[in-house]
């Protein structure tokens, strides 16, 4: 053979130059075997031949890299990736898009029935909607809901320190866009659509790591959990966090998968999305930390070059994040004198949230240093209690998928999956330190989806390459998890058909709103729900059994009605004190039935008393 590639036949004639195999001839979109040795129609990937160091021919690998994560493929030289191998090119198969559309539509239809009853709005959701109401009607970032007493703010006050601004702005945008709906319903329908957007972005991100089939199964499982359905239809930040977090992870992964090198523009976009997540909820800071950890790991990537260029992805994403959050902290500094002022800061300086919610009247705000000096012997117990609550949350939601993590390998958590792993670990650590906030299942919607993806990828690998018990576990635990998910959905649907929607106190909330509808200002142990249903200023009712503190409270805040829902620890004692005459002078108990007690101010002599008669 000559250097030019032409060869001479035996009779001296020159043969034609050998033509390289065209790329389109290497595509096998119709191979439906789905076995480890052949590409599957579900992946529909372009492939290229890599040189085999052993000299046994070319090993087929996905375009852009080999299967290094071991998801559903045997791995090793000379073997072809299976149908659940990570996908490293941007074009998804038609089947992926069809199933993704089915999942998105199913998720939207499952959420719409949950959006119409305003009495089912959670307390935090009512706080966000109060701010959104002021933005929509007055153009002010303010609220008429005072839910603690550790500041001297009046009932109507600026809300910059109460809640970050992103979700109230998004809620107002939905309310104006869907103006034909009730404002509360419009915000909740908007959240349902945001959740579907989060599902799409989660599937696109996970597809790059665990393959199309596992990505669809994991997102379908995580987004159809009753926990996810419930909290993503609340007018709160959960539905907004999902598209922001998964969008940032997807863009960040794409930045490092660019064919021409690392894309700094995508790194900056990921930083902006991480900043928006922080503006939705400050605990979203764990995302930029996770991206920073991954950038440090990749700093020696040969595509970055040497010297300062190694740090450009870290600096670019960090600068974009800082620029995104800077206006909010500037506003805090102008309003309160500190760029880090927050009405929620005291939650780190109390043992439980109960004392924050009800015992703050006429008490100084708790200080973190004093709390640590006083309570340090109890901190391990508080942390262990929070860890136990986390374990309960993951066991209840993931169920049979959790044991699969025992078969995990290092590559299941590292390499391209490191940002997602760091996000899960960061969320666990951060919410373990916030020991005062019990019942933290809703804080882990993003980790639930990520852990489900890892577990299902492990199950796929065990079912194909395992033997004995491991293979049986890989085959049957995902099926058991699917059956339990169906059972949970049936039970959740049954709860939503009940008059109380699965919330035992809901009839009392509706009754209270009907009985004090004429009040211009109310005080209650649950002020948020009355503020939402009545759209009047509401203030937290201090949980006290003494008459004198209650007298000073009504003199300062001048409520027209005192509403007590005696359904939490300590509140039955308050109800008993009211019945025994602990109400301030000029007040009388006008309603006492079940858990609901209402006290009204006595009218002046000769005037008709507003409200309802005594029962």
- Over residues 189-235, the pLDDT tens digits come to 999 999 999 999 999 999 999 999 999 999 999 999 999 999 999 99
pLDDT at 574: 92
| Residue 206 to residue 411: CA distance in whole angstroms | 15
Asked if the structure places residue 417 within a domain, the reply is: yes
pLDDT at 36: 39
Same domain, 335 and 480: yes
Q: What is the DSSP string of 455-505?
A: HHHHHHHHHHH--THHHHHHHHHHHHHHHHHHHHHHHHHHHHHSTTTT-TT
Single residue among 54, 72, 91 that ends a domain in this structure: 91
The beta-strand segments (E) located in 41-80 are 47-50, 59-62
Contact predicate 84/60, CB 8 Å: no
| Residue 356 to residue 366: CA distance in whole angstroms | 9
364/518: higher pLDDT: 518
| Residue 147 to residue 526: CA distance in whole angstroms | 9
Comparing CA positions, the residue from 343, 359, 341, 340 lying closest to residue 351 is 359
pLDDT, one tens digit per residue, over 569-583 is 888 999 999 999 999
60/357: higher pLDDT: 357
Q: What is the DSSP string of 282-328?
A: GGGHHHHHHHHHHHHHTTT-GGG-SGGGGGHHHHHHHHHHHHHHHHH
Same domain, 151 and 202: yes
* Torsion angles phi and psi, residue 143, rounded to 5: -150, 155
Least confident of 73-77, 330-334, 435-439, 472-476: 73-77
pLDDT at 483: 96
Domain that holds residue 46: 1-91
Does residue 44 have a pLDDT over 80? no
Asked if the structure places residue 556 within a domain, the reply is: yes
pLDDT at 348: 79
Asked if the structure places residue 607 within a domain, the reply is: no
Please name the residues in contact with 576: beta carbons below 8 A apart, sequence gap of 6 or more: 545
Does residue 456 have a pLDDT over 90? yes
| Residue 530 to residue 155: CA distance in whole angstroms | 14
Same domain, 565 and 467: no
Note the pTM of the prediction, 2 decimals.
Answer: 0.83
Asked if the structure places residue 513 within a domain, the reply is: yes
Single residue among 455, 479, 497 that ends a domain in this structure: 497
Comparing CA positions, the residue from 552, 550, 614 lying closest to residue 582 is 550
Does residue 45 have a pLDDT over 50? no
Please name the residues in contact with 54: beta carbons below 8 A apart, sequence gap of 6 or more: 77, 78
Same domain, 289 and 240: yes
| Residue 461 to residue 75: CA distance in whole angstroms | 11
The dihedral formed by the CA atoms of 527, 507, 179 and 528, expressed in degrees to the nearest 10: 10
Domain tally, the chain = 3
Asked if the structure places residue 374 within a domain, the reply is: yes
pLDDT, one tens digit per residue, over 578-608 is 999 999 999 999 999 999 999 999 876 665 5
Same domain, 292 and 355: yes
Return the percentage of the chain with pLDDT > 90, whole number.
Answer: 64
Same domain, 418 and 516: no
Does residue 369 have a pLDDT over 50? yes
Same domain, 60 and 105: no
Sole residue written with tokens 């966000």: 128
Residue 159 has which token pair?
A: 């809300």
Asked if the structure places residue 613 within a domain, the reply is: no
| Residue 132 to residue 296: CA distance in whole angstroms | 39
* Torsion angles phi and psi, residue 590, rounded to 5: -110, -10
pLDDT, one tens digit per residue, over 518-565 is 999 999 999 999 999 999 999 999 888 899 999 999 999 999 999 999
Backbone angle region of 535, left / alpha / beta, with phi > 0 → left and psi within -120 to 50 → alpha: left
pLDDT at 37: 39
Asked if the structure places residue 615 within a domain, the reply is: no
pLDDT, one tens digit per residue, over 146-177 is 988 888 889 999 999 999 999 999 999 999 99
Least confident of 30-44, 256-270, 478-492: 30-44
Question: For the chain, how long is the longest CA-to-CA vector?
Answer: 128
- With H, G, I as helix, E, B as strand and everything else as coil, classify residue 8: strand
Sole residue written with tokens 């909820």: 281
Does residue 89 have a pLDDT over 60? no
Comparing CA positions, the residue from 511, 489, 490 lying closest to residue 499 is 511
- State the pLDDT confidence band at 53, using cuts at 50, 70 and 90: very low
Does residue 34 have a pLDDT over 50? no
pLDDT at 85: 53
Same domain, 66 and 184: no
Q: What is the DSSP string of 512-544?
A: HHHHTTT-SSEEESSHHHHHHHH-S-EEEPP--
Strand order in the sheet with 538-540: 145-146, 538-540, 522-524, 561-565, 596-601, 587-593
Does residue 9 have a pLDDT over 60? no
Return the percentage of the chain with pLDDT > 70, whole number.
Answer: 82
Does residue 48 have a pLDDT over 50? no
pLDDT, one tens digit per residue, over 384-430 is 888 888 999 999 999 999 999 999 999 999 889 999 999 999 999 98
- State the pLDDT confidence band at 439, using cuts at 50, 70 and 90: low
Mean pLDDT of 332-359: 81
Average pLDDT, the chain: 84
Residue 377 has which token pair?
A: 């012997």
Contact predicate 453/206, CB 8 Å: yes
Does residue 5 have a pLDDT over 60? no
Asked if the structure places residue 251 within a domain, the reply is: yes
Single residue among 471, 497, 523 that ends a domain in this structure: 497
* Burial (CB count within 10 angstroms: exposed 0-12, middle 13-18, buried 19+), residue 259: exposed
Same domain, 291 and 344: yes
Mean pLDDT of 56-70: 36
Same domain, 577 and 455: no
């Amino acid at each position: 053979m000559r250097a030019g590639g032409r060869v001479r036949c035996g009779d001296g004639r020159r043969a034609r130059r050998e033509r390289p195999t065209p790329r389109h001839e290497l595509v096998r979109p119709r191979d439906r075997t789905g076995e480890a040795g052949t590409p599957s129609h579900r992946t529909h990937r372009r492939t290229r031949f890599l040189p085999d160091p052993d000299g046994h021919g070319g090993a087929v690998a996905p375009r852009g890299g080999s299967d290094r994560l071991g998801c559903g493929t045997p791995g090793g030289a000379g073997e072809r990736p299976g149908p659940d191998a990570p996908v490293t090119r941007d074009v998804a198969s038609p089947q992926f898009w069809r199933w993704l559309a089915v999942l998105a539509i199913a998720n939207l239809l499952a959420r719409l029935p949950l959006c119409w009853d305003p009495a089912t709005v959670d307390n935090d959701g009512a706080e966000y909607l109060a701010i959104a109401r002021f933005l929509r009607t007055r153009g002010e970032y303010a609220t008429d809901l005072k839910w603690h007493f550790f500041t001297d703010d009046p009932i109507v006050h600026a809300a910059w320190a109460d809640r970050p601004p992103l979700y109230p702005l998004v809620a107002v945008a939905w309310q104006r866009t869907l103006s034909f709906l009730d404002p509360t319903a419009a915000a909740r329908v908007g959240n349902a659509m945001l959740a579907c957007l989060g599902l799409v972005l989660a599937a696109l991100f996970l597809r790059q790591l665990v393959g199309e089939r596992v990505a669809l199964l994991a997102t379908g499982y995580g987004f159809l959990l009753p926990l996810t359905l419930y909290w993503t239809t609340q007018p709160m930040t959960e539905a907004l966090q999902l598209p922001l977090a998964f969008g940032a992870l997807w863009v960040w992964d794409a930045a490092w998968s660019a064919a021409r090198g690392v894309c700094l523009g995508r790194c900056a976009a990921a930083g902006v999305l991480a900043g928006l997540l922080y503006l939705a909820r400050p605990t979203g800071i764990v995302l930029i930390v996770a991206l920073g950890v991954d950038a440090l790991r990749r700093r020696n990537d040969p595509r970055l070059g040497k010297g300062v260029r190694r740090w450009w992805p870290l600096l670019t994403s960090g600068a974009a994040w800082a620029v995104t959050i800077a206006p909010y902290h500037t506003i805090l500094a102008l309003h309160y004198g500190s760029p880090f002022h927050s009405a929620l800061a005291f939650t780190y300086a109390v043992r439980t949230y109960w004392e924050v919610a009800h015992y703050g009247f006429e008490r100084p705000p708790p200080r973190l240093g004093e709390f640590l000096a006083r309570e340090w012997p109890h901190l391990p117990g508080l942390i262990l209690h929070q860890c136990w609550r986390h374990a309960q949350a993951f066991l209840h939601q993931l169920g049979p998928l959790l044991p699969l993590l025992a078969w995990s390998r290092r590559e299941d958590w590292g390499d391209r999956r490191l940002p997602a792993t760091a996000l899960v670990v960061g969320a666990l650590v951060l919410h373990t330190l916030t020991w005062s906030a019990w019942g933290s299942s809703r804080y882990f919607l993003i980790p639930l989806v990520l852990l489900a993806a890892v577990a299902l990828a492990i199950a796929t690998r065990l079912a194909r390459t395992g033997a004995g018990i491991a293979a049986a576990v890989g085959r049957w635990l995902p099926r058991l998890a699917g059956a339990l998910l169906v059972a949970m959905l049936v039970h959740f649907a049954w709860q939503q058909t009940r008059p109380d929607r699965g919330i035992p106190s809901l009839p009392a909330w509706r009754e209270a709103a009907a009985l004090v509808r004429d009040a211009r200002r109310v005080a209650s142990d649950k002020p948020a729900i009355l503020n939402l249903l009545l759209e009047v200023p509401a203030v937290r009712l201090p949980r006290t059994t003494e008459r004198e503190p209650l007298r000073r409270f009504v003199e300062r805040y001048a409520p027209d009605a005192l509403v007590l829902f005696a359904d939490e620890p300590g509140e039955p004692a308050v109800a008993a004190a009211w019945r025994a005459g602990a109400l301030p002078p000029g007040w009388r108990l006008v309603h006492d039935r079940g858990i609901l007690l209402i006290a009204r101010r006595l009218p002046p002599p000769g005037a008709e008393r507003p409200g309802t008669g005594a029962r």
